[in-house]
């Protein structure tokens, strides 16, 4: 696995990625993703700020990663 053999990220990020590879995510991540998937905007600002507050930049990095993933998914054929 590239994650294990290359120094491409920090130790903390590496651990998050290990869990993600097993489909295990923090509650702050799952709350935001579930809100987005359900189109529920009632608690979006609170949930967004909650994830943004994780670590020094980990929350922002995670939000950016979610956005990039959503954009990549949207660009795939048959996902319009």
pLDDT tens readout for residues 8-19: 777 777 888 888
Q: Residue 37 — φ and ψ, nearest 5°? A: -65, -35
**Which 8-state DSSP code applies to residue 76?**
S
Triad 63, 68, 70: Cα angle to 5°: 95
Enter the pTM of the model: 0.73
Q: Which token pair is 48?
A: 């967004």
d(CA 32, CA 36): 6
Rg (alpha carbons) of the chain, rounded to whole number: 14
Q: What is the pLDDT of residues 42-63, one digit of tens each?
A: 899 999 999 999 888 888 988 9
């Amino acid at each position: 696995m590239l994650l294990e053999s290359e120094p491409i990220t920090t130790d903390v990020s590496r651990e998050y990625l290990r869990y993600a590879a097993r489909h295990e995510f923090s509650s702050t991540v799952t709350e935001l993703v579930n809100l987005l998937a359900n189109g529920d905007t009632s608690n979006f600002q609170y949930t967004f700020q909650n994830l943004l507050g994780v670590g020094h930049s980990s929350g922002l990095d995670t939000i950016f990663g979610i956005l990039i993933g959503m954009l990549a998914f949207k660009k795939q054929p048959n996902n319009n």
